[in-house]
Amino acid sequence: MGQAVLILIKPDGLKKSLTGNILTRLSETKLEIVAAKMVRVSKELAQEHYKHLKDKPFFGEIIKYLQGDFHDRKKVMALVYWGNDAITKCRELAGATNPEEAESTSIRGSYGRITTSGVYENVVHVSSNVPEAEREIKLWFTPDEIIVDLYATKDVVKKELSCKIWADK
């Protein structure tokens, strides 16, 4: 059955120039990329993304990590992959959460590390199950940014919405 999954290439993955490598590994799955963008991660977005971990002792550190505080890369690459068993396939390629326990040929096993302060810098995020994938995709993307219809949408008219446009247009 078709499934959607959120992938984040985290700031360490970007700093280590692993983007191409990770996308190549993910292409082995034959899944389809249906959305992709670079994101400057606000504290609110990071906290909402990891809200299930808010009581963990490492919560503050992983918020800083996702925001890029440890890698002078204030950005992540966010993608949505779609296809059969997308979550299982991508989580298998990513490997275990703890890079030292991850299969050595997996993305996290190959490129992740545990910092001296104990944070797992594990290069990628992959949604863990179907409801989490839906929650995360709706958090990171608007319907217009995804080229297929994944979830129900509704039309609203937004009045007096201010947004940036190119100065010469």
Binding test (CB under 6 A) with ligand TYD, winner from 87, 125, 133, 136: 125
Residue closer to ligand TYD, measured from CB, 115 or 153: 115
Can you list the alpha helix ranges (DSSP code H) found in 55-112? Answer: 59-67, 86-94, 107-111
Distance in angstroms (rounded) separating the CA atoms of residues 136 and 87? 13
- Binning the chain into helix, strand and coil, the percentages to the nearest 5 are 35, 20, 45
Among residues 4, 36, 1, the alpha carbon closest in space to that of 150 is found at 4
In the bound state, the residue with its beta carbon closest to ligand TYD is 97
Note whether 130 binds ligand TYD by CB under 6 A. no
Distance in angstroms (rounded) separating the CA atoms of residues 72 and 47? 19
- Of 10-69, which residues contact ligand TYD (CB under 6 A)? 53, 58, 62
Distance in angstroms (rounded) separating the CA atoms of residues 119 and 107? 17
Residue closer to ligand TYD, measured from CB, 64 or 159: 64
Candidate segments 27-35, 115-123, 133-141, 159-167, binder of ligand TYD by CB under 6 A:
115-123
Residue closer to ligand TYD, measured from CB, 62 or 137: 62
Q: At what angle do helices 19-27 and 86-94 cross, to 10 degrees?
A: 130
Residue closer to ligand TYD, measured from CB, 8 or 31: 8
Under 8 Å between Cβ of 6 and 136: yes
- Of 81-100, which residues contact ligand TYD (CB under 6 A)? 97
Nearest distance from C-beta of residue 118 to ligand TYD, angstroms: 7
Question: Could you list the active site residues?
Answer: 125
Under 8 Å between Cβ of 81 and 90: yes
Binding test (CB under 6 A) with ligand TYD, winner from 70, 81, 111, 120: 120
Q: Where along the sequence are the contacts to ligand TYD (CB under 6 A)?
A: 53, 58, 62, 97, 119-120, 122, 125, 128
